Amino acid sequence: MALWAIVLAGGAGTRFWPASTPEQPKQLLPLVDPSETLLEATLRRIAPLVPASNVYVSTGAHLALPTRKILGSSAVKLLAEPVPRNTAPCIAWATATILAADPQALCIVLPSDHAITKPDAFLARVGDALDAARLGYLTTIGIEPTRAETGYGYIERGDPIRDGIFVAKRFVEKPDRARADEYVASGRFLWNAGMFFYAASTMMDAVREHAPDIAALLAGGNVEATFASMPSISIDHAIMEKARKVAVVPGDFGWSDLGSWQSAWELSAKDPDGNVLPAGSVAIDAHGNLVWDARAGRKARTYAVLGVSDLVIVETEDAVLVVPRDRAQDVRLLVERLKR
Amino acid sequence: MALWAIVLAGGAGTRFWPASTPEQPKQLLPLVDPSETLLEATLRRIAPLVPASNVYVSTGAHLALPTRKILGSSAVKLLAEPVPRNTAPCIAWATATILAADPQALCIVLPSDHAITKPDAFLARVGDALDAARLGYLTTIGIEPTRAETGYGYIERGDPIRDGIFVAKRFVEKPDRARADEYVASGRFLWNAGMFFYAASTMMDAVREHAPDIAALLAGGNVEATFASMPSISIDHAIMEKARKVAVVPGDFGWSDLGSWQSAWELSAKDPDGNVLPAGSVAIDAHGNLVWDARAGRKARTYAVLGVSDLVIVETEDAVLVVPRDRAQDVRLLVERLKR
C-alpha cells in the first residue's frame, strides 16, 4: 500500500497580521525558521515517507500562484478549490483523485500551518497511525494536552486497539474552561490537530455512507465546476464523528498550531536575551522581543530595540504592528477595527 | 537700526536617531509640527521682526543643499561654513558680513533646532533684548529654569539694568546635580539657550578685543578659504564670558531645546490617549506613544499599536527604533553601538 499525502494549505488566518494577509496566509510565511515557510516545513517533514509525486497540496484558487511559487520545481501536485468549502469536500476530492490513481493508496492528511519541533517522534506516531489505517481505521493523531486549552477540539480516547493506538470514542468541540479542565484532568482527552490517516478506499466508503451529497458530486466528474455546490463542512463533522472504525494515536512531538505571534516567538531560535531579531539588529537592555521583517524584498535595515521587553514588532510594506507578546491574541481586534 | 537675524543651523545631533542623521540633522526635521521643520518654525517665529532678506542661515557646507531646499524661494541667505568651528567663528563671520552691508545693524542670533510654544511671549522678550542691544550690551535671553537640569549651561543674573533686563554676572558650564539644585534654588540663575542680541558694531569690537585671531582672519577677506584656520570655540567662551557690557533678559515662553524624542512627544499635538501617531494609525489600549514615520516619501501605511504605552517608535528607510519614552536619552548608546 503506497503512501500518499494531502497537505491542507487553504487557510487564510488573520492572527499573524500584518504579515499574514488573505493573499499570503500563514502557511506561506517562514514563521519559525527564516529559511522556510510552514508549508515547506510540512512537506520536508513527510518527505522521508512520501515521494513528492505522491503529495497533493490542497489550496484555494486565489492562492494557487503563490503556493506554486513556493513549491518551485517540486513534483508535488496542486489541487485548487474554486471556492472554500471547509475540509470535508476538499479531503474527499483529493482522496477520490488519489484512489483513482492507486486503489491501494494509504493517505496522510496534514495541515500546512502547524509546527512540530520533534520530527522524528512525529514520524514514529505517523507510523502507528498508518498501521491503524492499514487495519481499516479512519485514524487521527491526538496531541497530549499540556494545558486546559479552550481554543481546540478534543478527542476522547477509548479502549486500546494495540500499543499506542486507541479507539477514538468521540470528537468534541472547543470546550469551555471548566470542561477543558475536566478533559485534561481525566487523562483521556487529546487535542484534535486535524491530522488524518486512512486507506483511500476506507475513506471513500465512509464519504458515500456519511456524506452522500459530497460523494454524489465527486462521482459526477467535473468536480471543479460543481465544487461550489459542495456543503461547507469539516471532515470531523462530516465523517470522523459518524464513522464506526475510528482510531486515535496519542502523540507528543512538540506540536504547535502557531496560533499567534506568541507561538512564533516560542518556537523561534532566540539570542541569549530571548530576542528574535532580524540580522543586523541592535538590542540594548531588551529581552524576549520578536522583531519580524516581512517587507517585500527586505532591504537591509537596522532594527534597534532599547529598554523594551516581551514585545512583538512586525513590519510589512503596508503596516507596522507593535503589541506585547502576551496580547498577541488580540491582533484580531486590530484586524476587525481596520475592516470597519 | 535695522534688524538682522543669524540663524544657526549647523547642528548635527544624534539624539533623534534614526530620523536625524549627519545628512539630515534635527533642524531639518518637522519634530513638533508635521507641517514644518524646526528651521522653518524658527524663521516663522522671527518673521514679524526681520524681513527674510535680512536673515542669514548659517550652516555647514554639507548641509547647504538640503537647507536651501527647505528655504525654497525665500529671500533668506545661506552662509555655509567650509568646516565646523563651533559658534564663535560662525557668528563673527555672519556679523561682519551684516556689518559691511549695514553699519547700524542690530543682530538677533538664534539656534534653529529649539522649540518655543509661546511665540508672542518670546517676541516680547526679544523686544527687551533688542532694547539692551541698542544700549550697547551684548545681550542674551536666559530661560527661567523649571528643574535642576544638568545638561544646560547657566547664566547668573546681576543687578537690573531696567525692568526685565539684568546685568549678566557670569556664564557657567553645565553644573553637577548639587550645583544645579543650588542654582535653581537661588532664583538668580537662568538657562543659557544660545540666543544673542547685539549691535553688529558692538559685537565686532568685542571680537577684535577678545578673539583677535578670529577678527584677523575675518579682516583678511576670503573667509571661506581661511575658515579652517579659525579656532573652534563657542561664542560664550570666546566673547560673552569676557565682554564687559553683557545683559540678560529672563524669559518664560515654553522654550525647549528638544533634547530627545521625549521632548518631541511633549510638544506634539496628541490624541485623547496621549498618542502622537501618523494619519491612518490604529491604537487600542495604547497610551502616550510617539510613532514617527520618517521614511522617504512616507507611502501610506498603517501603524497599529495595541496594549503598549509610553513608547517611541521611529521608522526610516534604513532603521527602526523602539524605546520607552523615559529612555529616549539613551538613543546615543544605540548610535555608539552602531558606530562600532
Structure confidence at residue A324 (pLDDT): 98
What's the Cα-to-Cα distance from A27 to each of A1, A23, A30, A114, rounded to whole Å? 29, 11, 8, 8
The span from the CA of B108 to the CA of B139, in Å, is 10
Side-chain-facing half-sphere of A25: CA atoms under 13 Å:
23
Determine, for residues A323 and B303 on separate chains, whether the beta-carbon distance falls below 8 Å.
Answer: no
Calculate mean pLDDT across residues B77-85: 95
Per-residue pLDDT of chain A (340 residues; tens, 9 = 90+): 899 999 999 977 789 999 998 889 999 999 999 899 999 999 999 999 999 999 999 999 999 999 999 999 999 999 999 999 999 999 999 999 999 999 999 999 999 999 999 999 999 999 999 999 999 999 999 999 999 999 999 999 999 999 999 999 999 999 999 999 999 999 999 999 999 999 999 999 999 999 999 999 999 888 989 999 999 999 999 999 999 999 999 999 999 999 999 999 999 999 999 999 999 899 999 999 999 999 877 788 999 999 999 999 999 999 999 999 999 999 999 999 998 8
Of A291, A299, A337, the CB nearest to B284: A337
Optimal mutation site among A298, A320, A330, A333, interface B, most CBs of chain B within 10 A: A320
Chain B hits for A306, CB-CB cut-off 8 Å, are 321-323, 327, 330-331, 333-334
* Mean pLDDT score of chain B: 95
Whether B298 has a pLDDT exceeding 80, the answer reads: no
Q: Where are the beta strands (DSSP E) in chain A?
A: 3-8, 55-60, 77-81, 106-111, 115-116, 138-143, 154-162, 165-172, 189-199, 246-251, 255-256, 282-284, 290-293, 302-306, 311-315, 319-324
Number of A–B residue contacts, CB under 8 Å: 106
- CB contact under 8 Å between B308 and A330, yes or no, is no
The pLDDT assigned to B221 comes to 82
Residue A51: predicted pLDDT: 97
CA distance B223 to chain A (A): 41
Contact check, Cβ <8 Å, A323/B337: no
Within B163-199, residue ranges assigned H as helices are 177-186
For residue A333, give the nearest of B284, B308, B319 by CB distance: B284
Q: Cell for A145? A: 494536552
Phi, psi dihedral angles at A174 (to 5 degrees)? -50, 120
* Cβ contact, residue pair A304, B18, below 8 Å: yes
Q: How far is A39 from chain B (nearest CA, A)?
A: 28
Contact A303 B323 (CB under 8 A): no
Contacts of A302 in chain B (CB under 8 A): 18, 318-320, 338
> Which of B323, B338, B339 to mutate to test binding with chain A, by most A CBs within 10 Å of its CB?
B323
| pLDDT given for residue B308 in this prediction | 98
- Give DSSP secondary structure letters for A58-93: EEEGGGHHHHHHHHTT-S-EEEEESS---HHHHHHH
Question: What is the three-class DSSP state of B217?
Answer: helix
- Measure A248 CA to nearest chain B CA, in Å: 40
Average pLDDT over residues B309-329: 96
**Residues with Cβ within 8 Å of residue B163, at least 6 apart in sequence:** none
Rounded to 5 degrees, φ, ψ at A116 are -140, 120
A143 and A190 in contact (C-beta within 8 Å)? yes
> B55 — phi, psi (to 5°)?
-110, 130
Q: Angle formed by the axes of helices A38-46 and A64-71, to 10°?
A: 50
Alpha-carbon gap: A336 to the closest alpha carbon of chain B (Å): 11
Q: B322, A301: Cβ pair inside 8 Å? A: no
Cβ atoms of residues B49 and B3 within 8 Å: yes
| The predicted structure's pLDDT at residue A27 | 96
Residue B142: which of B194, B107, B93 has the closest Cα?
A: B194
Which site among B298, B302, B337 would you substitute to test the A interface, given the most A Cβ atoms closer than 10 Å to its Cβ? Answer: B302
Q: Considering only alpha carbons, which residue of chain A is nearest residue B303?
A: A320
Interface contact B313-A331, CB threshold 8 A = no
Q: What is the mean pLDDT of chain A?
A: 95
Cβ neighbours, 10 Å, residue A39: 26
Provide the pLDDT confidence category of residue B248 given band limits of 50, 70 and 90: very high
Question: pLDDT band at residue B160, thresholds of 50, 70 and 90?
Answer: very high
pTM of the complete model beyond 0.80: yes
Q: What is the pLDDT of residue A46?
A: 97
- The CB density around residue B159, as the number of other CB atoms within 10 Å, is 7
For the CA atoms of B180, B185, B186, B189, what is the dihedral angle to 10 degrees?
Answer: 50
Of A307, A317, A322, the CB nearest to B327: A307
CB contact under 8 A, A307 and B320: no
- Inter-chain CB proximity A319 and B304 less than 8 Å: yes
**Which residue in chain B has the smallest CA separation from A301?**
B318
Whether residues A284 and B308 touch (CB distance < 8 A) is answered with no
**Which has the closest alpha carbon to A170: A182, A183, A158, A161?**
A158
The C-alpha atoms of residue B107 and residue B3 are separated, in whole angstroms, by 6
pLDDT at A300: 87
Distance from the Cα of A182 to chain B's closest Cα (Å) equals 32
Question: What pLDDT is stored for residue A149 in this prediction?
Answer: 92
**Is pLDDT above 90 for B14?**
no
Chain B: closest CA distance from residue A320 (Å): 5
CA–CA dist B33, B47 (Å, integer): 18
Kindly determine whether residue A284 and residue B338, on different chains, have CB atoms separated by under 8 Å. no
